[in-house]
Amino acid sequence: MSTVAEGRPAGRSTAATPEERGSVRLALRNPRWLKTEVLAGLVVALALIPEAIAFSVIAGVDPRLGLFASFTMAVTTAVLGGRPAMISAATGAVALVIAPLVASHGIDHFLAAVILAGVFQVVLALVGAARLMRFVPRSVMVGFVNALAILIFSSQVPELLGVPWAVYPLTALGLLVVFLLPRLTTVVPAPLVAIVVITALVVALGTDVPTVGDKGELPESLPVLLLPDVPLTLETFRIIAPFSLTMALVGLMESLMTAKLVDDITDTRSDKTRESWAQGVANTVTGLFGGMGGCAMIGQTMINVKASGARTRISTFLAGVFLLVLVVSLGEVVAVIPMAALVAIMIFVSWATFDWHSVRPSTLRRMPLPETLVMVSTVVVTVWTHNLALGVVVGVLVAMIAFARRVAHFVRVDREVVVQDGEPVARYTVHGELFFASSNDLYTMFDYAGDPQRVVIDFEDSHLWDASTVAALDSVTDKYAHYGTDVRITGLNQASRRMRVRLGGLLNQDH
């Protein structure tokens, strides 16, 4: 049976589900979807070129290494990755991590470090590192997105300083196109229209403004397979391993955070473990082809997903292919594209990426203060250090501390004195979850001197989670023993009882 609109089988609703929209097979059968994917790939490729060159400069390597990395990363993750439509390429975070190695030991050690970083990422994926994403709270994610938007915008500011006056009206024109054109039509991606219009205008008027060609020399040949010329010794491993491990961790964190963001935008789920090892394979391939390595790029991903409407692996694959074709075969044409056009696109991306709802006064008034503190700390650290991974780590730590403080106050101990067998008995009932934070005050919640000779402590409404709690409980029983009081512990569930049997009496014996 032939398909109807949106590439779906006849007889079904024409509204495509998010999962169907991300299908390569359906996109290939639907000309409108396919056009969106192709044009999105072209726009991303054009935006990748100056970024890759700039990151190469940061790393202290030839621009070709950044451009080749963007090609191999995009193509490899398009085939192997677990998050369709996400763009991976040479990135600033990787460039900052690896730059000291280039300066101290040269290109060959640099390439060997990129290959080893890929191996580390595959190993981390196999041991389940991707599952750690479940511990990233929403407030950290919001802070990550907002910090990213700020960094994208701030990275464009140098392109607007000390430039000919014509750059400003051209940038304004580009912003008008990318903001207003989607309200009229979405047949052609607004970023592509902005690039074409501004480039044509500059060429026709002969205006002298900064162009892509000013960023660096474009390659004239395809990347070739090579092996880094380094000795295969433990000394080499000792030199490159710290850089490789840092690159692997930073790359995975940025990639997984970006994948989670795309999941939210597209209302689909991605395979984070598959994406993790695909990033590793892509970095290994990149190093073998003389590239500088990389990870997911939030800015270009937002161009692809938000600004251009792409949803499948086709756009990611074509972004890499178009990039290589443009720089190798059409380098002279690409070189004349004004930077003003790309700056306008990136400013639009930063505006679209920022979660404006999160900073509205009405939202901030309703949001618990610890949640706001977590978001702000993530933003401040990320913007201050220009390190997205560090910002996320700090945000998660602040969230953990805030959670621990909040849960610590949930423990309550109720006391009553009853008469059993003609004797008074102090009965304590413990409520709440006991762990290292909440159990610290447990010792102070009992009347050791004032209690009768018999005490019952009931844990039916509680749970012992760690050794700190067992130690605190031992301190309580030891204190009662000092007063000659008989203490009976009741109500422990099976897990808590097992932990107390295993650790009870062992933790305080040296004190």
pLDDT in tens, 164-173: 999 999 999 9
pLDDT of 63 reads 80
- Smallest Cα–Cα separation from 196: which of 173, 179, 216? 173
User: How sure is the predictor about 5, in pLDDT bands with cuts at 50, 70 and 90?
Assistant: very low
Residues whose CB is less than 8 angstroms from the CB of residue 10 and which lie 6 or more positions away in sequence, other chains included: 1, 2, 3, 4
pLDDT of 59 reads 78
pLDDT of 11 reads 43
CA 214 to chain centre: 31
Spell 54-77 as b/e; 16+ CB within 10 A means b.
bbbebbbbbbbbbbbbbbbbbbbb
Q: Which residues pair with 481 in a beta bridge?
A: none
pLDDT of 57 reads 67
- Smallest Cα–Cα separation from 62: which of 209, 220, 284, 211? 220
pLDDT in tens, 133-146: 777 888 888 888 88
Q: Could you tell me the CA-to-CA distances from 472 to 194, 260, 433 in Å, in that order?
A: 66, 40, 13
User: How sure is the predictor about 6, in pLDDT bands with cuts at 50, 70 and 90?
Assistant: very low
Q: Which residues pair with 368 in a beta bridge?
A: none
- Smallest Cα–Cα separation from 256: which of 344, 144, 98? 144
pLDDT of 335 reads 83
Model pTM score: 0.70
pLDDT of 14 reads 58
Q: Biggest alpha carbon distance in the chain?
A: 105
Output the DSSP codes for 409-428. Answer: TT-EEEEEEEEETTEEEEEE
Tell me: pLDDT of 176 over 90. Answer: yes
- Record the tokens describing residue 228, joined without a space: 């880094």
- Record the tokens describing residue 282, joined without a space: 């892509």
pLDDT in tens, 430-460: 988 888 777 777 888 898 988 899 999 999 9
H helices of 206-358, in order, are 234-266, 272-288, 298-302, 313-329, 331-335, 339-353
- Measure the CA–CA gap between 291 and 65, rounded to whole angstroms: 4
- Measure the CA–CA gap between 211 and 199, rounded to whole angstroms: 9
- Measure the CA–CA gap between 366 and 356, rounded to whole angstroms: 15
pLDDT in tens, 387-425: 777 888 899 899 888 877 776 667 788 999 988 888 899
| Residue 326 one-letter amino acid | L
pLDDT of 306 reads 86
Q: Other C-beta atoms within 10 Å of 398: how many?
A: 22
**Angle at which helices 92-105 and 107-126 pack, to 10 degrees?**
130
3-class state of residue 87 by DSSP: coil
Q: 295 — alpha (psi -120 to 50), left (phi > 0) or beta? A: beta
Tell me: pLDDT of 239 over 70. Answer: yes
3-class state of residue 486 by DSSP: strand
3-class state of residue 211 by DSSP: strand
| Residue 229 one-letter amino acid | D
β 295-296/88-89 pair status:
antiparallel
- Smallest Cα–Cα separation from 252: which of 124, 136, 67, 143? 124
Range 341-360 average pLDDT: 85
pLDDT in tens, 16-47: 898 899 999 999 999 999 999 999 999 999 88
pLDDT in tens, 320-332: 999 999 888 888 8
